[in-house]
Structure 1
Amino acid sequence: MRACALISFVQNKNSFLESQNSRRSGGEDDASVDDPETVASQVHMSIKNSTARRNLGYLSCGTGNPIDDCWRCDSDWHNNRQRLADCGIGFGRNAIGGRDGKLYVVTDAGDDDPVNPKEGTLRYAVIQDEPLWIIFKRDMVITLKQELIMNSFKTIDGRGANVHIANGACITIQYVTNVIIHGLHIHDCRPTGNAMVRSSPSHYGWRTMADGDAVSIFGSSHVWVDHCSLSNCADGLVDAIMGSTAITVSNNYFTHHNEVMLLGHSDSYLKDKAMQVTIAFNHFGEGLIQRMPRCRHGYFHVVNNDYTHWEMYAIGGSAEPTINSQGNRYLAPTNPFAKEVTKRVETAQTTWKGWNWRSEGDLLLNGAFFTPSGAGASASYSRASSLGAKSSSMVGTITSGAGVLSCRKGSSC
């Protein structure tokens, strides 16, 4: 009963904000609602309540988040771990990771030798040829000497332990398929490289310098990054380039970073025209500046995310991407020069006015505005629509569990 009451409170709060936003756009005068500080404080109170519930292990099975409602209410989740692979949504929904393989338990937080990794380490697990569902015996902080180069059909599942990949190299998904990254704290990633690194039991080779991304997706497909907490890395938090596609980035909590997410290698790299990425149910939180995401060429569905902080812009792009923004909540910063959600990067209006960018059902608060463009070609938006959007009034509830969950054996997450 208490859980239902909490959900009702958040939904009613957001419905109120959405209705007031609609009244303002219709020209109705209400000084208490038009005051940006009042609107901002109301939304921040809702976010604070959601964060408190997350810290208390709050859960209800009726959140409207289709991923969470698929598995989180199962108190026996730790015996049914691989069921998670059947809960995907969006363009990366067919990423099965290590669903059809054995469980592998990481017992050693070390990374002493990137060429000949020790059995029991995370690196030893991710380079194997066979499918594996990788879990952790206990809480650990893993400081990687070099990039963690993953092989195909792997899941890294941090549920049930407090796992940090931090203060060194981070995760590289290169020329592989079917990878799931779930439930990890990934932060303070640093540039590494000019070293030998093993990528499979039969191959190792020379790696040039890596940029220091938290998760780098390079020429890969069927990738799902879910319920991770990412912050403060040298380059991007999630970057997908060089023909990568069929990707979902969901339920993550992004904080304290400049260039958050890059999708598309360069304006001249035309293979990224086939890229399809879903950005869903994430909380873009404190200390963020830009690129949530920054897109090139492909098809991008940005759906039911909570944007509570940016300093420059939220969504940007170049090279004619199709961007379908649906049911998001955009709370603009107090800076009067950063109210626009969108940014066309180094492109003249005469060029970008034909790009298909649209906002549908978004909640725009504290002066936030989305600049649409294009004729709204149905075929383009169809290719950029990966799941049905919920009402923006539900975003606070849908994203209340964004980031790493506190999962313990014998109870629901």
Structure 2
Amino acid sequence: MSSKAPLSASTHARTMRKGASDHLVLNGGSETDHLITAHESDDKGHVFKSLNTSGLIPKQGRLIADKVDGIWVSGGRILMSKPGARLGLIAYWIFLHFWTPTVAAAAVVSDPEAVVEEVHRSINASRRRLGYLSSCGMGNPIDDCWRCDPHWETNRQRLADCAIGFGRNALGGKGGAIYVVTDSGDDDPVNPKPGTIRHAVIQDKPLWIIFERDMVITLKEELIMNSYKTLDGRGASVHIAGGPCITVQYVSHVIIHGLNIHDCKQGGNAYVRDSPGHYGWRTLSDGDGISIFGGSHVWVDHCTLSSCRDGLVDAIHGSTAITISNNYMSHHDKVMLLGHSDDLVEDKNMQVTIAFNHFGEGLVQRIPRCRHGYFHVVNNDYTHWEMYAIGGSAAPTINCQGNRFLAPDDSSSKEVTKREDTPMNEWKNWNWRSEGDMFLNGAFFTASGAGASSSYAKASSLGARPSSLVGTITGSAGALSCKKGRSC
């Protein structure tokens, strides 16, 4: 059973009504409300006593609660209960409020600059090897770790050893069995058919998930990942498109590699299975390409993302230990939201590495938009933006190194950075730093805070990689066309 962390629900119901026999609907909710589900029942229709909190879901406009062993539960609070039913709920409340928050917190690095230094060491090592390796090496430490191997197809799990940055410890399905997706269908999100991607990702054991052939997968509802899973699209052209897309919610150790994710839509108001033993009611989703909600140890690598309803990759509600690398993103407005709201203190532990990505044509803003945490933006190629590239609020630390920024022709959009709705006397103390970045066509970065001083001492110890190498390092960004028997 995957563990889930709680979120405090602040809704005070104005009206209360019973819907179906196992639901309580509270009108007047907000987008920060959350749902705890427990919909599994025996053949007599009795709800099981053991709760699985994998149904915690953001909801706009209302809060849905579930009846569990005579108790109406939502957001970890008793709404109504029968006498004698409280003892089990007290134990459950203790689980929610004291144990589950430590899952993501355990992934937080106390010295983020040390992780930045590790990234620099990896890049330096790859550059040094270029002098005596074959022409396969590109100076990209992630790619140089595995792409030169012509036998990558029989050694797929080597990829799990190649991440850098804050998501470097993401295991995915390493050590688990290979699961081959043979069926592109998604007919029943509650009872997924074996051989489908949904059946693969909900399993309770580590799995390395690959694809039998080229396929376009149009999901009926969000694809809710379980922990210790790798989605590996190498060797096939795999598109997740035209429906709801991927959700990484209160789980850990997820690797998403080599997928084309685009035209994602909202899902919800439906039951969806998230493990072999549990399914729950999902309220309306945002329509992100990849939504990371309270997730940790997540690595998104070599994906091509575009044209989703909300974000391409969003990480919120205490998510941390994330690396977003080697992706190609294009044709989208709000690209990456990292941090849910200025008031959500859980996101102070958010740590994200954004490396070797190509941010291409048709992008508008939020590349990324950060709150609270620590964000290392290194050796990315920003060739297009319409409003701004990197924005933030709530005093995030942004360490921007060795990127290439090509500003649009619009004279009002030359600035790389944007402080959201904050006066200068406040944001001047935020630690936003640019080192070794290349600025073209009038682009400029407004630094603030500690700059290159003590806050970044360890991060600066090896220096940023030259931005002149960004074109080479990011030249293969996006989903790769890997052929069996050849280096990829």
Q: TM-score range by the shorter chain?
A: 0.7 to 0.9
Counterpart selection for 2:203 from 105, 121, 128: 128
Q: Per-residue deviation at 1:375? A: 2.3
Q: 1:139: which partner in 2?
A: 214
Partner of 1:262: 337
Q: Do residues 318 (structure 1) and 375 (structure 2) align?
A: no
Report the 3-state secondary structure (helix = DSSP H, G, I; strand = E; otherwise coil) of the residue aligned with 2:370.
strand
Tell me the CA shift for residue 384 of structure 1: 7.5
SS of equivalent to 2:243: coil
The one-letter code sitting in structure 2 at the alignment partner of 1:131 is: P
Distance 1:87 1:332 in 2: 32
Q: Show the 5 A alignment for 1:369-388.
A: 369-376=444-451, 380-381=455-456
Distance (Å, rounded) in 2 between the aligned partners of 1:385 and 1:205 = 47
Give the Å deviation of 1:111: 0.1
SS at match of 1:346: coil
Aligned residue type for 1:295:
C
Q: Deviations over 1:47-106 (max 9, x none)?
A: xxxxxxxxxxxx943211000000001000000000000000010000010011000000
Q: Match for 1:154: what amino acid?
A: K
1:282 to 2:357 alignment: yes
Work out which structure has the larger RCO, using CA pairs closer than 8 Å and 6 or more positions apart in sequence.
Answer: 1
- Matched with 1:239 is 314
1:60–1:73: 8 Å Cα contact kept in structure 2? Answer: no
Q: What is the SS of the residue equivalent to 1:337?
A: helix
Equivalent-residue separation in structure 2 for 1:193 and 1:314 (angstroms): 31
Flag the 1:122–1:256 CA change in 2: closer, same or farther, 3 A: same
The one-letter code matched in structure 1 to 2:447 is P
Structure 2: give runs of 5+ residues left out of the alignment: 1-133
The residue type paired with residue 276 of structure 2 is P
Distance 1:200 1:177 in 2: 14
Determine helix, strand or coil for the equivalent of 1:350: helix
Preserved CA contact (<8 Å) 1:278 1:386:
no
Whichever structure has more helix as a proportion of its residues is 1
Matches for 1:11-410 after TM superposition, within 5 Å? 60-376=135-451, 380-381=455-456, 389-410=464-485
Equivalent-residue separation in structure 2 for 1:353 and 1:337 (angstroms): 21
* CA contact 1:322–1:380 (8 Å) conserved in 2: no
Q: Which amino acid aligns with 1:394?
A: L
- Relative to structure 1, the CA distance from residue 183 to residue 385 in structure 2 (aligned partners, 3 Å threshold; closer, same or farther) is farther
Q: Where in structure 1 are there 5+ consecutive unaligned residues?
A: 1-58
> Contact (CA 8 Å) 2:227, 2:252: kept in 1 or not?
yes
Change over 3 Å in CA distance of 1:404–1:180 after alignment to 2? same
> For the residues of structure 1 that align with 2:192 and 2:416, how far apart are their CA atoms?
45
Match of 1:12 in 2: none
Shift of the alpha carbon at 1:390? 1.8
Query: Within 1, Cα distance between the matches of 2:461 and 2:186?
Result: 38
Shift of 1:382: 6.3
The SS at the match of 2:210 is strand
**Quick check: 2:435–2:464 contact (8 Å CA) kept in 1?**
no
> CA RMSD of the aligned region, Å?
1.5
Displacement after TM superposition at 1:154 (Å): 0.1
Asked if the contact 1:241/1:265 (under 8 Å) is kept, the reply is yes
State the Cα distance separating 1:378 from its structure 2 match: 5.3
- Aligned CA distance change for structure 1 residues 162 and 311 (closer, same or farther; 3 Å): same
CA–CA distance in 2 between the matches of 1:93 and 1:352?
30
What secondary structure, in the 3-state scheme, does the structure 2 residue paired with 1:273 have? helix
Deviations along 1:197-226, whole A, 9 cap, x unmatched? 000000100000000000000001000000
Deviation of 1:379 after TM superposition, in Å, equals 5.9
Which residue number in structure 2 is paired with residue 10 of structure 1?
none
Check whether the contact 1:76–1:411 (CA below 8 A) recurs between aligned residues. Answer: yes
1:203-256 Cα offsets, whole Å, 9 max, x none, are 100000000000000001000000000000000000000000000000000000
Counterpart CA distance in 1 for 2:178 and 2:456 is 39
The whole-number CA distance in structure 2 between the counterparts of 1:108 and 1:295 is 38
Deviation at 1:383, TM superposition (A): 8.7
Cα drift, residue 386 of structure 1: 12
Cα 1:208–1:261, aligned 2, differ >3 Å: closer, same or farther? same
Q: Distance in 2 between matches of 1:181 and 1:241?
A: 17
TM-score normalised by L of structure 1: 0.84
2: CA distance between counterparts of 1:226 and 1:373?
30
User: Quick one: structure 1 residues 378 and 178, their matched pair in 2 at CA, closer, same or farther if it must change by over 3 Å?
Assistant: farther
Could you list the per-position Cα deviations for residues 318-375 of structure 1 after superposition, in whole angstroms to 9, with x for gaps in the alignment? 0000000000000000111100000001111111000000100000010000000002
